[in-house]
Amino acid sequence: MGDRGTGLLKIAGITTLLLLLWCILVWESPLSFLTPNNLENLLRRTSLYGVLGIGVAFVIISSGIDLSIGSLVCLAACLLALFLQVDYVPVGQVEVWQVRADASTISVAAEHGFKQGDELWYYKDRRNKGLVKVVDIGDTELLDGKSVTVLTVEPPPKRDQDSREEKPVGKISSTFDVVNYGGNAAELENNAPELKHNDKILFVHASETPREKTVDQNGEANQIILTDEDSGLNADFRAVPIRKTPYMSIPLALLSVFGIVLCLGVIHGLLITRLKMQPFVVTLCGLLIYRGLSRWLTNDQTVGFIEYQETLGKVATGRWETGIQFMPVKVDPTDDASSWKLVWDSAEGAQMFGIPYSFFIFLAVIVSAIIFLNLTVWGRHLQAVGRNEEAARYSGISTHRITTLAYVLCAVLTGLGGVMFAIDSNSIAPSSFGNFFELYAIAAAVLGGCSLRGGEGSILGVVVGTALMQTLYNSIVLLKIPDELEFTIIGAVILFGVAGDELTRMLAAKFRSKEA
Amino acid sequence: MPEHLLEVDRLSKSFPGVRALHQVSLTLKPGEVLSVIGENGAGKSTLMKILAGVQPADSGQIFVDGKKTSFETTRAAMDHGIVLIHQELNLCDNLNVGQNIFLGREPQKLGIVDSREISRRSEEFLKRVGLSVSPQTIVGRLTIGKQQMVEIAKALSVDARVLIMDEPTSSLSSKESASLFELIESLRDQGVSIIYISHRLAEVKRLSDRVIVLRDGEHCSELIGDEITHANMVSNMVGRDISQFYNRTPHPIGETVLKVNQLTTPHWPQHPVSLEVKAGEIVGLAGLVGSGRTELLRSIFGIDRPLSGSLEIGKKTVQIRNPKEAVHHGIALVPEDRKQHGLIIDLSVQDNVGIAGLQKNANRFGFANFQRQKSDTDTMIDRLGIKTPSARQIAKFLSGGNQQKVVLGKWLSMAPKLLLLDEPTRGVDIGAKQEIYQLIEKLASESMAILFVSSELEEVIGISDRAYVMHEGQLTGELDRRELNEESIMRLATNTAEHKEAKT
């Protein structure tokens, strides 16, 4: 839409800059730059930041701005971690509300499923625990407003509960007979629940220390294979099966995160279009609010996905092997001269180049964004609104809806970026995760030819802009430029890039008027 | 002292794809009013911009007081006493009159702006232009006419010897225009030379000592004294007879398309307005600037939500809450401010023509239909005679008349039932004006209902089947074609029945 010529010129300009930088890196530091590992990393980082760049590009094209991206990345990451938090809960566990040694009773929450004769495992803390047998199940009664069932047990509990103790005063759960134990396999009684990979079993004994074991798989007929052997175990122990219970399943957690960021995007949009608040102010408040929320929700503790190494972890570190193997090596390893060559295929030292999975997500985002912006009605309307909102409104476009859509798209892509960053880093410190990401995203978009005046910008430009930013970062490491100068260099390159762009535009205008 | 204050020798200037000026020469004597007329795109604005230092010429020379000069900036032109007063005024709404007059040249005392000095000296210039407002008045609170006076006072404050006025009356009421003419005459008597650009030939005739006619960027002819007649000017500008200017053919009038019942707009909440427009009918909406006509159109089109009252489109009462719904009901609005509201000036002709129809022509997945957009645009370029190198041309490079045709093309591609036009020929040259009149005529004969706002009485009288007249937010009357004349309209527009003297 509009001036295609200058748009292409911009992309060509910044691509030249990127190629130039690559040439410098190949020239100066080929042995570290051209390794499959480094290139993969560059691709991964570009993909992660690129998703954010494309998000903010929509908002910039609508002639707005979104400063909340970094905090929203953090919030999305923290929410995902919280939603996927894992608890290990013994099967059929209920709370204990009162313990009386003299009457040898334990009052448990009324929704228990215990029967007379069951052997139960009572646990309060390391000193207050033990196996008890249900002698009698009493009536349900009210205790401090809770309905509880009084169980008469033996042996009697060791001591009364202290009235000052916090309630509940422990937990109690069913145990099952270990019919057979040998090697790393335990056979449980028939009515024991089926267990899955990564569930656990706590083996308890009247006199011995309990041992917790991880389940590898549930074999035939209650034959449970554990991950390791333990010679101290035998059939005298009783088993407390423990289920791994995530707060949410992975799809549900993802859906919830996207739902929440989408709502936040809608709120941004409505505040800006309906209350006529300035985008800068709205998203600045977002920046502060989401950061604070993230820290509060996580108690300012670092969160991660340790329990998900085999699912999310694999996506994060996963890559599609291209089959191309190479490695830059010195021509003569003993020679200090800087001559080098690439070795290919099965030559010694050559490594497989793989494309990170995150790149494929990025690719999908790029393609959808290009289609959306250029081929759909809404994309076109977005560009029109960015250029001249009034004229767009006078042409019968719902400018409020289109502007809101831009903020929603930005928030959703930020959420996606947040999820990708989260599983990539696997360690989210809520006070710093995502700091400055909005500025990286805006910088990449501006470098890629988006004008903060609105209505101008291309997705490809943003992609190249992001790649340039990440290559810059890479070159600071590889060329051994002092870390402290990182921001200075990135800032300077953006400044020169944009200044150069304006200069060529002026020259082009001059040239055109001369020509005619 | 040389005879000529200003002498221009063979100026040429080109833009991409357009030869704007070709070897144009002119001279200007002290205390002379020189009018420059010509169709839009004839090169008037370019010539003025070069004289005022807004843009440089490609070739040619400028002499001031016989000395060769060249202006790189407006500041340089000002230093030579040449000041351009733009069609769109260049004042800061948020500053007061005095601050505007001395903007950029504030008198200072020890580096601090001397407000008292500003007020004192401003009063002197305000007196010279005959404007009785305090220098402390915020400019945004003044009427357009008074703002223009402030702009002239500002020009005088830099000792302007040549005032270039580009369409100064285009947004003034007739009373304001009259006082502007008096001012121009008094300035002339004080020895200030004026270059006056206008499409309103009556004004040109009244004011000018000499008239230069530009056509297609070239100096076409020069008229002096008695030669300055309406017919002479028009035939020189367009090279054709004006007798067929408002050429009307009667056509049948059909059912009521729009009925406005007791509508009140946010700007004039105390005055409900009722009117109706029938299919095939051209209805004028006359009145002074600021009488509430634009606001009425905006409310009908859903830009401002009416406070009360209702609209009937084709006998059905409808709720129009935004322009989108108005378009849905077959209403189109060609707004007064083409560059801000009518067009997205940085986009191409095709993008502008196609913008309203994008949604309608899209497939069910929301993909835009660009073939349709292209063919619609080509149809409109043909049908309306839009002069553009291609559908890809950026709208801002077109002349005013062609830009207006692009706006019209946008709406005609939607085949509206009701066309609202707000000052459709404002800033449009005579040739394009006539084309627009013919187009309106043709659309009406195809039974489109047309409601148009115009401040040019001649136009209202020339093309309307019927006209409503507004005064300060209320409809003061309805005039049938036979009753339409300048006197009857002005009486209603100034509401002389109620007030002895109309407010401006």
Contact B421, B450 (CB under 8 A): yes
Enumerate long-range contacts of B358-366, CB under 8 Å, 24 or more apart: B358/A377, B358/A380, B358/A381, B359/A377, B359/A381, B359/A396, B359/A397, B360/B414, B362/A376, B362/A377, B365/A376, B366/A376, B366/A377, B366/A378
Tens digit of pLDDT at every position of chain B (504 positions) = 567 889 999 999 887 656 788 899 999 999 999 999 886 667 888 888 899 888 888 889 999 988 888 888 888 888 889 999 887 778 888 889 998 998 888 888 888 888 888 999 999 999 888 888 899 999 888 888 888 889 889 888 888 899 999 888 877 777 788 888 998 999 999 889 999 988 777 888 889 999 999 887 888 889 998 888 877 887 787 665 545 567 677 788 899 999 999 999 988 888 999 999 999 999 999 987 778 899 999 999 999 988 999 999 988 999 999 999 999 999 999 998 888 899 998 899 999 999 998 888 888 888 999 999 999 999 999 999 898 888 999 998 888 889 999 999 999 999 999 999 999 987 777 778 888 998 999 999 999 999 999 987 778 888 899 999 998 888 999 999 888 887 788 788 877 654 444 333
User: Rounded to a whole number, what is the distance in Å from the CA of B398 to chain A's nearest CA?
Assistant: 15
**CA pair distance A241, A226, nearest whole angstrom:** 12
User: Rounded to a whole number, what is the distance in Å from the CA of B366 to chain A's nearest CA?
Assistant: 5
**Residue A363 or residue A502, greater confidence:** A363
Query: Does the pLDDT value for residue A6 go beyond 70?
Result: no
The b/e string for B463-497 (b: 16+ C-beta within 10 A; e otherwise) is bbbbbbbbbbbbbbbebeeeebeeebbbbbbbbee
| φ, ψ at B155 (rounded to 5°) | -65, -40
List all residues 6 or more positions away from A515 whose beta carbon is below 8 Å from its beta carbon. B16
Give yes or no for A392 touching B (CB within 8 A).
yes
The β-bridge relationship of strands A200-204 and A238-246 is antiparallel
- For B372, the 3-state DSSP assignment is helix
Contact B255, B278 (CB under 8 A): yes
Most confident region among A116-120, A202-206, B441-445 by mean pLDDT:
B441-445
Enumerate long-range contacts of A111-119, CB under 8 Å, 24 or more apart: A112/A149, A112/A172, A113/A174, A114/A151, A114/A174, A118/A174, A118/A175, A119/A175, A119/A238
CA-nearest of B101, B9, B1, B16 to B51 is: B9
Q: H or E segment at B468?
A: strand B466-471
Scan for tokens 């030869």, then name that residue.
B19
- Give the strand order in the sheet containing B331-334: B331-334, B418-422, B449-453, B282-287, B466-471, B474-480
List all residues 6 or more positions away from A84 whose beta carbon is below 8 Å from its beta carbon. A246, A247, A248, A250, A253, A305, A307, A308, A312
**CA pair distance B231, B411, nearest whole angstrom:** 34
CA of residue A30 relative to chain centroid, distance? 33
Mean pLDDT of A318-327: 88
Contact A382, A61 (CB under 8 A): yes
**CA pair distance B184, B207, nearest whole angstrom:** 8
Query: Taking CB atoms and an 8 Å limit, are B341 and A516 in contact across chains?
Result: no
Query: Does the pLDDT value for residue A516 go beyond 80?
Result: no
Query: Taking CB atoms and an 8 Å limit, are A397 and B347 in contact across chains?
Result: no
Closest chain A residue to B371, measured at CA: A375
Mean pLDDT of A329-337: 74
User: Rounded to a whole number, what is the distance in Å from the CA of A513 to chain B's nearest CA?
Assistant: 5
User: Rounded to a whole number, what is the distance in Å from the CA of A75 to chain B's nearest CA?
Assistant: 32
User: How crowded is the C-beta side of A390, counted as CA atoms within 13 Å?
Assistant: 13
Give yes or no for B314 touching A (CB within 8 A).
no
User: Rounded to a whole number, what is the distance in Å from the CA of B391 to chain A's nearest CA?
Assistant: 11
**CA pair distance A465, A486, nearest whole angstrom:** 17
Give yes or no for A395 touching B (CB within 8 A).
yes
pLDDT digits (tens, 9 = 90+) for A130-184: 888 888 888 888 888 888 888 888 888 776 666 666 777 888 998 988 888 887 8
In chain A, % of residues over pLDDT 90 = 44
Q: Could you tell me the sign of the dihedral formed by the alpha carbons of B123, B124, B126, B130, in that order?
A: positive
Structure tokens at A270: 């409505």
Give yes or no for B348 touching A (CB within 8 A).
yes
Query: Taking CB atoms and an 8 Å limit, are B344 and A380 in contact across chains?
Result: no
List all residues 6 or more positions away from A279 whose beta carbon is below 8 Å from its beta carbon. A59, A64, A65, A66, A268, A272
Question: What's the pLDDT score for residue A291?
Answer: 97
Enumerate residues 432 to 491 of chain B having a beta carbon within 8 A of any beta carbon in chain A: none
State how far the alpha carbon of B301 is from the alpha carbons of A371, B318, B417, in Å: 32, 12, 13
Contact A382, A405 (CB under 8 A): yes
Give yes or no for A455 touching B (CB within 8 A).
yes
Question: What's the pLDDT score for residue A508?
Answer: 74
pLDDT band at A309 (very low <50, low <70, confident <90, very high): confident
Question: What's the pLDDT score for residue A417?
Answer: 97
**CA pair distance A153, A144, nearest whole angstrom:** 22
Question: What's the pLDDT score for residue A283?
Answer: 96
pLDDT digits (tens, 9 = 90+) for A406-461: 999 999 999 999 999 999 998 999 999 999 999 999 999 998 989 888 888 899 99
Give yes or no for B316 touching A (CB within 8 A).
no
Give yes or no for A373 touching B (CB within 8 A).
no
Q: What angle do CA A496, A501, A503 make, to 5 degrees?
A: 95
Q: What is the pTM of this model?
A: 0.78
Question: Which residues in chain A touch residue B348, judged by CB atoms under 8 angstroms apart?
Answer: 1-2
Question: What's the pLDDT score for residue A277?
Answer: 95
Mean pLDDT of A476-504: 86
| ipTM of the complex as predicted | 0.73
Question: What's the pLDDT score for residue A161?
Answer: 61
